[in-house]
Amino acid sequence: MTPPPSAPAPYSFETPLTKLVGVRYPIVQTGMGWVAGPRLVSATANAGALGILASATMSPEQLRSAVREVKSRTEAPFGVNLRADAGDAGERVRIVVEEGVRVASFALAPSKELITRLKDAGVVVIPSIGARRHAEKVAAWGADAVVVQGGEGGGHTGDVATTVLLPQVVDAVDIPVVAAGGFFDGRGLVAALAYGAAGVAMGTRFLLTSDSTVPDAVKARYLAAQVKDVTLTRAVDGLPHRMLRTEFVTSLENTGRARVLARAIRHAAGFRRLSGMSWRAMVRDGLAMKHGKDLSWSQVLLAANTPMLLKASMVDGRTDLGVMASGQVAGVIEDLPSCAELVERVMTQALDVMGRLRP
């Protein structure tokens, strides 16, 4: 494979992940809503890692346009993150196939039918999972690899640490496993490889790059955060959600149930206007979410909070009105390198650590 012009180094680092998806380095930039757009994804791809485009906050037309923009910026492989429980998941899969996207990732386990359809079209399928049994299920259905996120990771997350979950999954499946949750440098990459992973996935670390379109004031809040400032709360949508602790998050936790539900209804209306979805389609997605996650109707309604509260910060820069999903690693990140600089730094440090570990 010929490295793109902006590649950080003339070498490659081969693992089962790099061979599977065709990138040079075993590093994945996760599909963060409102964050992982064409600029960040293409910069990651040009740096030799795997960039994942976030599509959950896009309409199908916006998704096709974003994919084409990434393709205009890079010739390297990249992926698209899809919602397996979306009512229009089939249409989005069709776009991924038609546009020749290399990888389809999923935040929830896709159905066996979706996996088969993508694989038959030559698309690599990599779901994200948070439990050993989920990894075993999607592997049995034909997934090509899995991303395993431990509780240190940002956004919706579980309560099992990466250091416990990762070896469980590596021992349980015979497909490449990508480690997520708590990774930000070359030392973490080497540790993940030692556990048997084929690479690492990073979200917060890529959010905090100069190629990220997140407003500068929001990045400054992340950089100022210490580890103790990253909290786990259910106040946004009723599910465990890791984010920066702010006065707004505290106010959400202290708000009465009726006011929270009223806010969720307003946010659902706002997201409907942004996404172009009909109320019928939103109800259909809500039914799928309720079944897929075993949620109450109030939790389904609260889920409308998530995309709009994230947009308030990640797009509009309103940290006083939005939330900032974050892994615990935000507390140890202090700078904003470009994606090329970040990938080169991670790989250089990983090779140095591996060299020092050898007899």
- Tell me, what's the pLDDT at 6? 44
pLDDT score recorded for residue 7: 43
pLDDT in tens, 49-60: 999 999 998 999
Compute the Cα dihedral for 321, 58, 304, 155 and give only its sign. negative
The pLDDT confidence band at residue 198, using thresholds 50, 70 and 90, is very high
Does the pLDDT of residue 265 top 80, yes or no? no
* Domains parsed from the chain with CATH numbers: 16-215+333-357 (3.20.20.70), 226-325 (no CATH)
Q: Read off the pLDDT of residues 147-188 as tens digits, 9 standing for 90 and up.
A: 999 999 999 999 999 999 999 999 999 999 999 999 999 999
Percent of the chain clearing pLDDT 90 (strictly above) = 72
Predicted pLDDT of residue 98 = 98
Q: Provide the β-strand partners of residue 156.
A: 241
Q: Tens digit of pLDDT for each residue in 42-85?
A: 999 999 999 999 999 899 999 999 999 999 999 999 999 999 88
Q: Are 49 and 343 in contact (CB under 8 A)?
A: yes
Tell me the three-class secondary structure of 307-338, residue by residue: HHHHHHHHCCCCCCCCCCECCHHHHHCCCCCC
Is there a contact between 310 and 322 (Cβ–Cβ < 8 Å)?
A: yes
The pLDDT value given to residue 2: 39
Q: Is the predicted pLDDT of residue 336 greater than 90, yes or no?
A: yes
Q: Provide the whole-model pTM.
A: 0.88
pLDDT at 260: 60
In this prediction, residue 302 carries a pLDDT of 59
Task: Report helix, strand or coil for 178.
Answer: strand
Residues forming a β-bridge with 231: 243
- Among 65, 83, 61, which residue's Cα sits nearest to residue 73? 65
Q: Could you give the strand order of the β-sheet that contains 155-156, starting from the edge strand earlier in sequence?
A: 155-156, 241-244, 230-233
Give the three-state DSSP class for 82: strand
